Structure 1
Amino acid sequence: MNYITDRTYAKELLEHAYQQNPGPWYKHSLNVAKAAENIMLELKIRGFNLDCDIAYNAGLLHDIGRYKGFTKSVIHSYDGYVYLDELGFKGNAIICVTHSFPCENNHIENSAEWEYVPPFMKEKLVQVLKENAKYDIYNKVITLCDALADENGFTTLEKRLISVGLRHGTNSYTAIRWKGFYKIKKEIESLIDMSIYSLLPGVEKTIYTNIEY
């Protein structure tokens, strides 16, 4: 599985994408990368054989599909997958998809607003999810960090999920997605034997800020 390990190259890709579609997703991506790196460093301390550069760059590029502009539902995941897959980085391409589906291969039909996604895109996204039904640690960490960082820095999972819900709405399957994030959080915390928030400097300040919506 090919991943981008060169941070300079990954940052160049992110900068190019941002120039095509400026927005808060850029700073969000920077913060996801920092959170992912912090978690990976702790996992390495605990004896896991992991690559912090892979995690950092995957965090930078998980939303790169937004270079095409505003798209509904998980279309940006498809765009990111195609973009990075064509560059030869299948591992990063897959993370563009999996980060939008915290429940792994479960509840695929209930994990996105598929009515906004063209059939050919849905077919490809479902194929990628089924072929990667068991997320590895990189996919899990980026998926979690996507929900622990916004454009302002690190935040709590609860605050981030509510903010997204207020901005994009909720449905009868929202709780299933939220449980997916908490399942990953619990698993990673069991590996590092501490709260994930211990690795996110300044996260405690978010309790004093308003929820963005």
Structure 2
Amino acid sequence: MKYILDREYAKELMEWAYAQNPGPWYKHSVNVAKATENILMELNKNGYELDVDLGYNAALLHDIGRYKGFTKSVIHSYDGYIYFKKLGFPGNANVCVTHSFPNKNKNIEIAANWSLVPEHMKLKLVEILDKNRTYDIYNKVITLCDALADSEGFTTLERRLISVGLRHGTNSHTSIHWKGFYTIKNELEELLDMSIYKLLPGVEDSIYTKVDY
């Protein structure tokens, strides 16, 4: 599956997207990319053969669908998917969707403000997730890092999830969504044989700053 491997090209796309819709999502994306890079590099030290540039770029561009504007729902995932499909990068297109669904194709309806998503988009997102029943390690790392980074830097999973919940709301099924992140975190930490947080410089500083809401 084709991904963007050139970092300069990925940066150009991000700069263009940011110009269309400036916001904290840009710095968040940069930090997600840094976290992804750190984890992939550590996995390679443990014997894996992962393409760090592939992962970094996919992480950097995971929220590019926000170029169309702000939304509390996963509409940006759909917009990002369509954008990259047109550019001819189906790998990056898939990451735009998978990062919003840590439980893979399970409990799709509990995604953030699913009720706000137009029906044709829902059908397409379900189709995409159905084709990606098993997330590869890149999808898993990026999905987790999306929940470990904000616009200020790295943070704990608990702090990030609470912040998102306060800003976008929760429902009776939110805990299922959150468990998806912990499942991925536990799996990756087993592969790394260490805490994810050891790979996120300055993460402890986040506990001294206010929670965005």
Length-normalised TM-score, structure 2: 0.98
Contact 2:101 2:108 in 1 (8 A): yes
Name structure 2 gaps, 5 residues minimum.
none
Aligned alpha-carbon RMSD (Å): 0.8
| Counterpart residue identity of residue 74, structure 1 | V
Distance 1:73 1:210 in 2: 24
Matched, 1:134 2:134: yes
Matched, 1:163 2:173: no
| Counterpart residue identity of residue 76, structure 2 | H
Matched, 1:109 2:113: no
Which SS does the other structure have where 2:135 is aligned? coil
1:71 matched residue in structure 2: 71
Contact 2:29 2:61 in 1 (8 A): yes
Q: Compute the displacement of 1:112 (Å).
A: 4.0
Distance 1:110 1:169 in 2: 11
Q: Compute the displacement of 1:70 (Å).
A: 1.1
Q: Trace 1:27-66 onto structure 2 (pairs within 5 A).
A: 27-66=27-66
2:198 matched residue in structure 1: 198
1:144 matched residue in structure 2: 144
Which SS does the other structure have where 1:153 is aligned? coil
Q: Compute the displacement of 1:114 (Å).
A: 2.4
Work out the number of aligned pairs and report it.
213
Report the identity percentage: 71
Q: Compute the displacement of 1:130 (Å).
A: 0.3
Q: Compute the displacement of 1:83 (Å).
A: 0.2
Contact 1:105 1:134 in 2 (8 A): no
Contact 2:72 2:168 in 1 (8 A): no
2:17 matched residue in structure 1: 17
1:181 matched residue in structure 2: 181
Distance 2:142 2:136 in 1: 10
Q: Compute the displacement of 1:106 (Å).
A: 1.2
Which SS does the other structure have where 1:204 is aligned? helix
Q: Compute the displacement of 1:49 (Å).
A: 1.3
Distance 1:204 1:147 in 2: 15
Distance 1:163 1:115 in 2: 21
Name structure 1 gaps, 5 residues minimum.
none
Q: Trace 1:69-108 onto structure 2 (pairs within 5 A).
A: 69-108=69-108
Contact 1:111 1:173 in 2 (8 A): no
Contact 1:34 1:56 in 2 (8 A): yes
Which SS does the other structure have where 1:154 is aligned? coil
Q: Residue deviations 1:58-117, cap 9 Å, x none?
A: 111000000001123110000000001110110010000000001011111233432211
Distance 2:109 2:152 in 1: 32
Q: State the 4+ residue runs in structure 1 displaced beyond 2 angstroms.
A: 109-114
